[in-house]
Amino acid sequence: MNWLGSLQQFGRAIMLPTMVLPAAAILLSVGGLPWGTWGLPMVSEVATIAGQSIFHYLPFIFAIGVALGLANQEGPAGLAAFAGMALYDYVVKHFSDALLQPSTLIGIIIGVIAGAAYRRFKNVRLPEAIQFFGGSRFVLLFMGLFSSVFACLMLWLAPILQELLNGLTWVLSTMGGFGLFLYGALYRILSAFGLHHLLNNIVWFQIGSFEAHGDIVQGDLPRFFSGDPTAGIYMAGLYPVMMFALPAAALAIIQEAREDLKPKVRKTFMRAALVCFLTGVSEQIEFAFLFASPGLFILHIILSGLAMWITYALDIHHGFSYSAGVIDYVLNYHLSTNAWLLIPIGLVYAVIYYNVFRYAIRTFRIPTPGREEASTLGDWVGNIPYQAPLILQALGGKENVVQVEACITRLRLTVVNDRLLDGKALKELGSAGLIKLGGGNVQIVFGTYSELIREEIRKLMDRDLSHVKFCAPVQGKMIPLSEVPDQIFAGKLVGEGVAFVPDSGELVSPVAGTIIHLYPTMHALGIRTVDGLEILLHIGIDTSQQKGCFEAHVAAGDVVEAGQLLIKFDLDTLQKNAPSLATPMVITNPDRVKSWSYAPFKQVKKGQGTVMSVVMYDKNGGEEKA
C-alpha cells in the first residue's frame, strides 16, 4: 500500500469514533431545555452530564475507534487500544500534577499503535510453553508494555507537543479570515480524495484549549460543546454550502437534464439534495460535477473558502456533531453566536450556485447526470443484495479485491490491478465517481448506501458461490420479462430471466456452453452451460412462421463462447410482420438458481457484460456450493 493509500485508510479510521458525537449533541440539547420549570430538573442534569461524559472519554473513544478502523474491525485490536489508553491515563495522572495534553491526539496515537500491532502480531507464534500469550493475546501484552513506556515519555514530551499545537493555533489566529479561507478551500480539495478527515481532525479536535468542568478540552468541536465562546469558527462557514449551495446545485443539474431522463435524475438528486440539507453529506452532489467539470469544482472550492471568511468576518460561531446540516443547525443553535446570519448568507449562496451551475452546464455542455444516458443507484437500491454481484464483477471479481471498506459515502478498496475496474459499469450501477489513488487503492462514491454495498460484497467474498454471468445477446434495450407481450414468457411459465428489444439483426451467445437444441425455423435455440443451466433464446414473439428471416451460424452440439454469433435475422421484416421484437433470454431450469441479479434496464450493446448474474445451488439438494 503506497502512502496515499495509507492516508486513505487512516482517514477512514479517525472518522469512525466521531460517529458517537451526535449522541452527545442530542443529550446536551435535551439538557438545555427548561426541565426545571416543568418540574423535572433531574432530566436536565442527567442529560447534560451524559453528554459531557462523551467528550470526557473522547481520547478513549478515538483510541478504540482508530484501532478498529486500522485492524478491519477486529475486536482484539480495540480491546488492546482500550487497555493501552487506560494504562497511559492512570500513569500520567499519578505522576503529573497537571492534566497532560494533547489528550485526543494521544488517543489517536495509541489507536494507531494498537491497530498496527494487531496486524503485525496477530499470528505470532511463541514457544509451546508460553504459546498461551501468542496470537492476538500477544497484542494485549505488547500494548500493556508499550503504553507504560509511552506514558513515561509523554510526561516530558506532551508539554512540547502542546506548545507546538499552541503555536499552530497562534499562526491560524493571526491569519484571521484568510486562514479560514485556506481551511475551507483545502477541505474541499481533500474531500475529492476522501482525505478531508485528516485535516478536520487537526482543526476540530486539536486546535485551541478550554477548561470546562475540571477537564481540558481541545479542538474547535469539543470546545464549542463545552461552552467556549471563541469556538465554532471552523464549522460555521460550512452551513451555507451544505444547507443551501449544494442543494441549489443539485436543482440546477435536475433542470438541465434531458426531458426523457429528467424524472430519473429528479428522483436521485432531490434525494441527494435532501440528504445534504438535513445531514450535510454532500459527496453525491459534488461528484456529479467533479469529473464532468473541474472548472466548476474549482469555483466550488473558492466559494467554500469565501463562506468561511464571511462567517468569520461577521463573528458567527456555530458547530455540529456530525456535519453542517439543518439537523445540527437546529440542535446546537442554543450554543451558537449570530447563527441566524447563516440563513441569509445561505440563500445568497443558493442563488449564486443555481444560476452559475445552470449557465455553465448549458453553455459549456457539461455532461452532468441526465445530459447523457446513465443509471442511478436510486433505481435499484432496494435490491442491493441482488445487485452486489454485478458491482463485484465490475471491480474485476473477488480475486481482484484485496480489501473493501466503506465510509459514509464511498467504498474504499485495495485491489490487485486497478485497470480491471470497469468504470462505465460502475457508473451504470449507480456510482457517482471513481478515484484511483495509485498502488491499487481506489474509492468509489455510492452515496449513503456505501456501507450496505460493502456488507453485501463482503458476504460474496466470504463465500465460494458458483456464479454464472450473462452478456447481452443482442444490441438494443433490455427490459423486464414481465413487459414481454406474451403471457407464457411474461408469466414465467417457460422460465426466469430478462428480455431485449433488438435494434440490429444479430443474436450472440450470452454464455459459454453447448447448443442443445436449434429449432427448425431457427427463430430460437437452447444452450446448456458447464454448470448445468439451460438457457432459451427466442427471437421475437410468434416468429416461428416467418420463414426465410433467420440464418443459423451454429448447429446442435456445437460448443460456443460468450459473444459468439449464433443467428442472423431480418430485423426489418420481423418489425413489419411479428407482433413484437421482444427477445426473451430465460433459464428454463430456474430451480438450480439461488439468487438473481440484473443490470439496469436500459440500452445495451451486443456482447455487453454483465446484464444478468445468477448464484447457483449445487446439484445435490439445493445447498450452496462451498
The shares of helix, strand and coil residues in the chain, as percent rounded to the nearest 5, are 55, 15, 30
The closest alpha carbon to 487, from 436, 542, 446, 537, belongs to 542
Phi (first) and psi of residue 37, to 5 degrees = -70, -20
Q: Write the burial class of residue 26 (CB in 10 Å: 0-12 exposed, 13-18 middle, 19+ buried).
A: middle
Q: Write the burial class of residue 135 (CB in 10 Å: 0-12 exposed, 13-18 middle, 19+ buried).
A: middle
Q: Which long-range contacts (CB under 8 A, 24 or more apart) does 197-202 make?
A: 197/11, 197/12, 197/14, 197/15, 198/7, 198/10, 198/11, 198/14, 201/14, 201/108, 202/168
DSSP state of 580: B
First and final CA of the chain: distance in angstroms? Answer: 31
Q: Is 407 a catalytic residue?
A: yes
Decide: 66 and 13 in contact? Cβ < 8 Å.
yes
Distance CA 503, CA 101 (A): 70
* Sign of the Cα pseudo-torsion (279, 284, 289, 291, in order): positive
Helix (H, G, I), strand (E, B) or coil at 485: coil
Decide: 431 and 450 in contact? Cβ < 8 Å.
no
**Of 152, 276, 407, 549, catalytic:** 407
Residue-level length of the chain: 626
Phi (first) and psi of residue 549, to 5 degrees = -95, -10
Tell me the catalytic residues.
Answer: 407
